[in-house]
Amino acid sequence: MRYLKKIGLLIDSIFENAGLLALLSLVVIVTMQVFTRKLFNFVFFWSEEVTLLLLGWLAFMGIALGFRENILHPHGTNHE
């Protein structure tokens, strides 16, 4: 049973770190996109697609973390 808890905590920490990395990447890419568009009149062709993918994954990860932390509840109430 202890091994399952350790594995669960490891998966949780990996999931949280992936969410933080996705958020940081999203902020960096959008900031880079804005600056290159305004200053150099140039946009990286991949930046919009990556931003949309990161935003979608970040939303799903946020929902999953919210359910895990009991922030979100299926019936719209917080049962602690």
Inform me whether the pLDDT recorded for 74 exceeds 70.
no
pLDDT band at 77 (very low <50, low <70, confident <90, very high): low
Q: Is the pLDDT of residue 7 over 80?
A: yes
Judge whether 70 and 80 are in contact, CB under 8 Å.
yes
User: Where is pLDDT greater, at 76 or 21?
Assistant: 21
Lowest model confidence (mean pLDDT) among 7-11, 35-39, 47-51, 66-70? 66-70
Residue 24 has, within 13 A of its CA and on its CB side, a CA count of: 6
pTM, two decimals, is 0.74
Whole-Å CA distances, 41 to 9, 34, 37, 70: 46, 10, 5, 45
